[in-house]
Amino acid sequence: MNWFWDIRSRDGGMNGLEFARCTTAGGFARVLVHAAPARMAVEIRAGDGTGIATGDLDRDGGYVPMTLLTVDDGALRRSEVWPSEEHHGLPVLLAGGEVGMLREWWHAEDHSWWRWTLELSNHTGRPDDWAPPD
């Protein structure tokens, strides 16, 4: 069953501004968000409308290009990360609602630059559910 990730910036306008509404396969307890708002409200629902997790999550510290959202027993946590190999294969939620899978990430030791490979598909299921074409 799919999960729907609604992310709103809590800055701007009386009720904030929509950042993204993304769809992933269900069960991803960790996702990355590229260029996440500093102050965001997140709501995750299953395809049948069941609530998975919700929370207001504010950045603690300076900006980094990736934010890791983790769902743990209905609790939602946010951490700013410089992705490593442990993050390869996770969905990346993008502003506007697109979702890709992080395939590779490189960055300078001083974080002055980064480069990444994102795979976009019309199917954002578990990585072992599908294979790239030969």
Instruction: Output the six-digit token pair for 42.
Output: 């997140």
d(CA 7, CA 40) in angstroms, rounded, equals 7
Domain of residue 42 covers 2-124
- 88, part of any domain: yes
- 134, part of any domain: no
- 105, part of any domain: yes
d(CA 56, CA 40) in angstroms, rounded, equals 6
pLDDT of residue 16: 84
CB-based contact 119:56 (threshold 8 Å): no
pLDDT along the chain (134 residues), means of 10: 94 87 91 97 95 96 95 95 96 96 96 95 60 52
pLDDT of residue 123: 62
- 130, part of any domain: no
d(CA 34, CA 65) in angstroms, rounded, equals 6
Overall pTM surpassing 0.75 (yes/no)? yes
- 114, part of any domain: yes
- 55, part of any domain: yes
pLDDT of residue 52: 96
pLDDT of residue 124: 55
- 77, part of any domain: yes
Collapsing DSSP to helix, strand or coil, 32 comes out as strand
- Number of folded domains that form the chain: 1
Instruction: Output the six-digit token pair for 79.
Output: 């951490």
Q: Who contacts 42 (Cβ-Cβ below 8 Å, separation ≥6)?
A: 5, 6, 7, 53, 54, 55, 56, 57, 69, 76
Work out whether strand 30-34 and strand 39-46 pair parallel, antiparallel, or are unpaired: unpaired
pLDDT of residue 83: 97
Collapsing DSSP to helix, strand or coil, 86 comes out as helix
pLDDT tens sequence across 56-93: 999 999 999 999 999 999 899 999 999 999 999 999 99
- 84, part of any domain: yes
Please, what is the end-to-end C-alpha distance for the chain in angstroms? 28
